[in-house]
Amino acid sequence: MIFDTHAHYDDEAFDEDRDSLIASLKDNGITRVVNVGADLKGSRASVELADKYDFIYAAIGAHPDNANEIDDTGIATLKELSKNKKVVAIGEIGLDYYWNKDNAEDQKEAFSRQIDLARELALPIIIHSRDAAKDTMDILKEQDAGKVGGVMHCFSYSTEIAREVVDMGLYIGVGGVVTFKNGKKLREALLEVPLEKIILETDCPYLAPEPHRGSRNSSLNLPYVVKAISEIKGVSVEEVMKTTYNNACRMYRINNEE
């Protein structure tokens, strides 16, 4: 059993075969998926997918690229969506200075407001952070985000930051990057991260693992990630699948019985 904790099946990359692909996941051992909103439209679509498929859950929120959506109306929309019982997290939220640092203050405000919302709703957070390590960690500490719970999605920082994230009580999200030749920094960090603090993700349709790098990603590629983690941690593939599955259920507060 594999739990894909972060997918974007609402993305237009899946428009031609979305239903048939999702229908194939269970037969290939992917028994749970969280579809993650990157904006209000994607959050609504995530809830719709969760309503349609029994093994899909939804996360709702606005990616830092869409920080402008997080005004009073945006927060009210997320609150309304959160009434659906299959909404299990607020995300993806955070900071991204790779593409745009000009609106850093707006990103910070949207990030903090959505952490506040997660605390109010008793939901964990899915954190997106790119080229923004210090500001991300400062906000997480200021907000005492460990008590909110959640995951640093698509972790890309140093071993030292990985330790801080774990010590805070948060999980580390690992996907296709762990298989990349230039993924050495992540592999080094994972040596120091307990398996009990790792969860699997695809971020599909992005970040397909080797040997499919550059193609459309899907949950079907997660066995490559499992194999890489098993080699790094020196444990069996079965142990990686079982532990990360239980970790995801614990983080999302989902019963881990099928």
**pLDDT higher than threshold 60 for residue 258:** no
- pLDDT tens-digit profile of 188-232? 999 999 999 999 999 999 999 999 999 999 999 999 999 999 999
Section 98-119 average pLDDT: 95
Q: What percent of the chain has pLDDT over 70?
A: 99
- How confident is the model at residue 100, as a pLDDT? 80
Question: Are 45 and 110 contacting, i.e. CB atoms less than 8 angstroms apart?
Answer: no
- pLDDT tens-digit profile of 242-256? 999 999 999 999 987
Domains in the chain: boundaries? 2-252
Q: What residue type is 251 in one-letter code?
A: M
Section 42-48 average pLDDT: 98
Helices (H) and strands (E) in the chain, counts: 10, 8
Q: What percent of the chain has pLDDT over 90?
A: 97
- How confident is the model at residue 257, as a pLDDT? 65
- How confident is the model at residue 226, as a pLDDT? 98
Q: What residue type is 199 in one-letter code?
A: I
Question: How would residue 102 be classed by pLDDT, with cut points 50, 70 and 90?
Answer: confident
Question: In the numeric block, which tokens belong to residue 29?
Answer: 């051992």
**pLDDT higher than threshold 90 for residue 101:** no
- pLDDT tens-digit profile of 154-173? 999 999 999 999 999 999 99
Q: Which CATH superfamily is domain 2-252 in?
A: Metal-dependent hydrolases (3.20.20.140)
Whole-number mean pLDDT of the chain? 97
